[in-house]
Amino acid sequence: MRVRGASLVVAMTTVASGCARPPDPAAGPPPVPAGRVWRALSSAVTTPDRAPAVLTAEDRRRLTRTLDDYLDDRPGRVAAAVFDRATGAGYTYRDNRHFLLASVAKVGILAALLLKAEAARRPLTRHERSLAEVMIRKSDNRAAQELYAAIGGQNGLARVMHALGAGDTWPGPGPYWGVTRSRASEQLKVLWALSSPSGPIGAANRRLAAALMSSVVTPQAWGVSAAASAGDHVSLKNGWLPARVHGGLWTVNSIGRLRSDDHDLLVAVLSERSPGKDTGIATVERVARLMVGALRREPRPRREPRLGQERRPAEGA
C-alpha cells in the first residue's frame, strides 16, 4: 500500500478523547455507491505490474444471481467482498452500506497498534503484545478496550483508517469500539495493510499479525475458514453481537485471508439481523464459499497484478 509516511506519523501521534456515552449506531453515515467504494479499494494499493484476471460480466451476474437466490431465503442482510492478490480478480456484493463490525473492529485496532509502534521505531512492549494476543486469539474485550484507548480511541482509529484508504470506516466513540461501522470492501484494505510487503507495516509485525489471526481459538475459528481448500493457510477474525439497535437480532461478521500456491484471497462477509448467532454463522460461511469458489475458477495470470488495474464491478454485478 502506498501511503505517505507523514500521514501515518500524524495518524499515530495525534490522540483525542471520545464521547462518554454509547452512540446511536442507526444514525451512522449515509450510504454511498458501491462503485466509489471499489474504486477506493482498487486505488489504495499497488504491487508490481501484472495482467489481472478479471471476472467477466457474465461471471459476475451468475455469482450475483447465486447469492441472491441463497439470501432470498435467509433472514437479515449481507454485504461481502473478495480480492485475489494472486490473480487480481475481485468482487463486491451489496457493498453500499455500513455494518456494525463487533469484534472484527479488533483487526483495525491491531493495525493501528502496530503502526503506532513503527512510527516510534520500536517493537511492541511485552504488555502490548500480550493484550494483542488475547484480543485477536480469544477476542478479549477488555484487552481491546485498553488498546483502543492506547491508539487514541475513535479519532486515533479514524486517522489510521483514513491513512490506509479506509476512510469510509466510522469508529465508535469513547470505549465503544464494537459499534464501529464499515463496509466489507473497507475491511479488505485493513487486511491488505496487515499482509502486504508493499504496505506500511514491517515484516516482523506482519508476521505477528498473521500468527495471531491464524491461531484463533477453535470455537471462534468459523466464518471465512469454511471457504478454505485443503492445504490453505487460513487467518481470520470474527465478530458477533446481539445488536440493541436491531432489537437484539445478531450481527455476525468474518474477515480473513486464504492463501495457497495459486491464490491469495482476502475475504470479508458482514451480516446483520439474524435471529441467532448460529444462523448468522451459517449465512456468512455459505456466502464466503460461494464467492471464493467463483474466484478459484479464475486462471492464474502470468504477471504480478496491480490492484488498481482490477476492473470495478457494478454493485452486485
191: Cβ–Cβ under 8 A, 6 or more apart, which residues?
107, 255, 256, 257, 266, 268
Which parts of 121-276 fold into alpha helices (H)?
A: 126-137, 141-150, 153-163, 184-195, 203-213
How far is the C-alpha of 88 from the C-alpha of 49, rounded, in Å? 10
Q: Which residue matches cell numbers 504496505?
A: 199
Asked if residue 28 is part of any domain, the answer here is no
Asked if residue 254 is part of any domain, the answer here is yes
74-91 exposure pattern, b = at least 16 Cβ within 10 A, e = fewer: bebebbbbbbbbbbbbbb
Q: If pLDDT is split at 50, 70 and 90, which confidence band does 298 have?
A: low
Question: Would the pTM count as exceeding 0.85?
Answer: no
Tell me the CATH number at 10: 3.40.710.10
pLDDT mean across residues, the chain: 84
Asked if residue 105 is part of any domain, the answer here is yes
Which parts of 48-104 fold into alpha helices (H)?
A: 57-71
State pLDDT tens for residues 52-108: 556 899 999 999 999 999 999 999 999 999 999 999 999 999 999 999 999 999 999
State pLDDT tens for residues 195-239: 999 999 999 999 999 999 999 999 999 999 999 999 999 999 999
Asked if residue 23 is part of any domain, the answer here is no
pLDDT at 131 over 60: yes
The range of the structural domain enclosing residue 109 comes to 5-14+33-309
Q: Is the dihedral of CA 313, 30, 223, 68 positive or negative?
A: negative
- Count of CB atoms situated within 10 Å of the CB of 37: 23
State pLDDT tens for residues 19-63: 333 444 444 443 434 444 344 445 443 333 344 556 899 999 999
Asked if residue 285 is part of any domain, the answer here is yes
Domain count, the chain: 1
Asked if residue 27 is part of any domain, the answer here is no
pLDDT above 90: percentage of residues in the chain: 75
How far is the C-alpha of 297 from the C-alpha of 30, rounded, in Å? 35
Mean pLDDT of 121-142: 98
Distance from CA of residue 170 to its chain's centroid?
13
Asked if residue 77 is part of any domain, the answer here is yes
Q: Enter the DSSP assignment of 50.
A: -
Question: Can you give the pLDDT at residue 121?
Answer: 96
State pLDDT tens for residues 153-203: 999 999 999 999 999 999 999 999 999 999 999 999 999 999 999 999 999
